[in-house]
Structure 1
Amino acid sequence: MNKRDYLIKTFSRTKRKDYENYILTAIWHKLDNMNIKPISQQYVKRQNGRYALMDLYFPQLKIGIEVDEAYHLNNHTEDNLRMDDIISAVYEESIEDFQVYRMDATKSIDEINARIHEVVSIIKNKAAVVKTTLNWKTYEEELSELKQKEHLSIHDNVQFKDIKDIANTVFGKNAKRYQLSYFRVIDKTWLWCPKLSIVENGDTKSVASGWLNLLAEDWTYIDESHQDVAIAKERTKNYMEEMNVGRERAVFAKYKNNLGFNSYRFVGVFKISGVSPDNDEFLRYDRISERVRIIKSTVSKQLES
């Protein structure tokens, strides 16, 4: 997606919120800097474990904007927070110099414009400080940059478009596509890209060929089962095979990002621990690591040599 389409898609999410739309688009236009990437409706996991919604977030500058309108003043709660929102959230604890600025839409137009001017000045000043590194990277540039790192962490807010990109970028593969969402990538490590189940009125519903995958809100475990009782029972009977070989699962959960596109995000390395203590029809996978080692591709090594 080019910048024009991205910006239209991003700001169209606030078009039914008149005051919010006015403030956020005013901030963006007054910045007048196409190297700054804006993200609308970005959830942030605070250090106290709760979530807050940034109406506008600038990841390169680590600055968030919250707009308070009359009918929802101080309303940024976790009511009806979707798992998609939780997975796409950025972690405040992993963001140095994170700053949040509130905009009160109940004020007069002169007061609102004065506050817009104040916040824009702050953003411009910070952008000037990091000018040499300020760059709105393409998706391909982000993946290329990731390949140079040693590890991928759950705190890295990296979105993958498909499983091929995960395998090639993180595990050194050179594939054109993958149809499977679970396969071995190296030694005892398997790549697992589960579609998370939907819970409605207490009932768990599958969105992946009958598989039921429940990720804990804090990402510390995953419970897995199948809506076919026979398959579920067979899984709980034979889980010791996976446990005995010490198989580990590098998990990239599938979710919809803030623009509504399917994406994958790393949520940790997991290992089976047995039957879930919450439901004996589910298997429990506990997170054993918050990061995974990035494997350099043999193709890259050959080119370097």
Structure 2
Amino acid sequence: MTTQEREPMDAKPPRTPIDAELEWQALRLRKIVHKQYELWAITRIVHGLDDPEIEWVTQQAVPAREEGKRALLDLYFPQFRLAVEIDELQHVDQVEQDRLRERHVIDTANVEFWRWKMQDIHTLDDARDRIDKLIGTLRKRKRKQIKKGTFVPFRFGRTYDPAEWIECGGVGIQDDARFRRHVDVARLFGKDLAAHRSGMLRLTESVQVWFPKLYPNKEWDNALLDDGQRIVQRLAVDATAGSDPEPLPAGSGSGETRLVFAHYRDEFGRIYYRFVGAFEHIGQDGHSADFRRNGERITVDGAGGFEITRE
């Protein structure tokens, strides 16, 4: 080895997956250091659960009621679609606001809430008891999914890898599959694309993949309704103001099925796409279209073959 090829004496060894995962978990907890009771409760839940197969996320972003904004869930368990909210004492005066926000998240993201109100906690034993009950619930749900054969153990990095989900045979609405780019979703269906920016990806004459933002934005005012059973697609008011509104995109014919991979952001603000169901176009009125869910799982073979089923 020449002098130029030698590794410096102080060179650090390459990072291992374990180091990367440890940093990843530490960063998640660092996001909540400014909240006194939330930090204590969440760290106790995470360390009390102590199960590497159960994923947990802090400050998970979901669409909010206000246009263009996000709500942040204090702690979220994707495998069980369970959100934990720690209401600090200032929430005493915003009960109705919290209720409306919770209802909106339930409707748009199909998330169940476990809420801890600090004004109801009087002793350390009260807090411990509440947390122990939550941990027991999480363990019970894991056992139930294992018994049904639906539990997918968390493994650092697998959530975002299309090859992992192809090996699993597909994705369902209960899976925590997060795809960073359109081309990652395309790989599920045997398509090796260098890039893809369109909101649609045609698979067959009657089936498309759709990548919508299910919240108001400059172009669209789409909404996931009825506990995830319905999507209404609308052109935003700003997109039609002052001119003749454009029609909905081609391909919105009655009977068409869209495999919906909705646009989300994780707790670090990074974009990902999550499968929320297969939806059949059932009607159109002016510049809005209505879709009903007709499938909760896509079975894929990685070579282009796929099947839509109900879970």
Say whether 1:56 aligns with 2:75.
yes
Partner of 1:248: 257
Q: Which moves more between the two structures, 257-266 or 147-156?
A: 147-156
* Alpha-carbon separation, structure 1, partners of 2:224 and 2:131: 41
Q: Any gaps of 5 or more consecutive residues in structure 2? A: 1-16, 63-70, 306-311
Partner of 2:24: 6
Counterpart of 1:79 in 2: which secondary structure?
helix
Counterpart of 1:77 in 2: which secondary structure?
helix
Given that residues 84 and 115 in structure 2 are in contact (C-alpha distance below 8 angstroms), is that contact kept between their aligned partners in structure 1? yes
* Alpha-carbon separation, structure 1, partners of 2:221 and 2:264: 12
Given that residues 271 and 288 in structure 1 are in contact (C-alpha distance below 8 angstroms), is that contact kept between their aligned partners in structure 2? no
What amino acid does structure 2 have at the position aligned with 1:166? V
* Alpha-carbon separation, structure 2, partners of 1:125 and 1:283: 43
What amino acid does structure 1 have at the position aligned with 2:301? K
* Residues 1-305 of structure 1 mapped to structure 2, 5 A cutoff: 2-41=20-59, 55-60=74-79, 65-73=84-92, 75=95, 76-79=98-101, 87=108, 89-92=109-112, 100=114, 102=116, 104=118, 107=121, 110-111=124-125, 114-115=128-129, 118-119=132-133, 122=136, 126=140, 135-140=153-158, 143-148=162-167, 152-169=171-188, 171-196=189-214, 198=216, 205-206=217-218, 211-218=219-226, 219-224=230-235, 227=239, 233-235=245-247, 243=253, 247-267=256-276, 268-271=278-281, 273-276=283-286, 282-287=287-292, 289-291=294-296, 293-298=298-303
CA RMSD of aligned residues (A): 4.6
TM-score under structure 1 length normalisation: 0.64
Q: Which moves more between the two structures, 173-182 or 141-150?
A: 141-150
What amino acid does structure 2 have at the position aligned with 1:178? H
TM superposition shift of 1:117: 7.0
* Alpha-carbon separation, structure 2, partners of 1:109 and 1:191: 51
* Alpha-carbon separation, structure 2, partners of 1:258 and 1:297: 29
Given that residues 182 and 191 in structure 1 are in contact (C-alpha distance below 8 angstroms), is that contact kept between their aligned partners in structure 2? yes
What amino acid does structure 2 have at the position aligned with 1:160? F
Q: Any gaps of 5 or more consecutive residues in structure 1? A: 45-51, 93-98, 199-204, 277-281, 301-305
- 155 and 124 in structure 1: CA distance in 2 versus 1, 3 angstrom threshold: closer
TM superposition shift of 1:139: 3.9
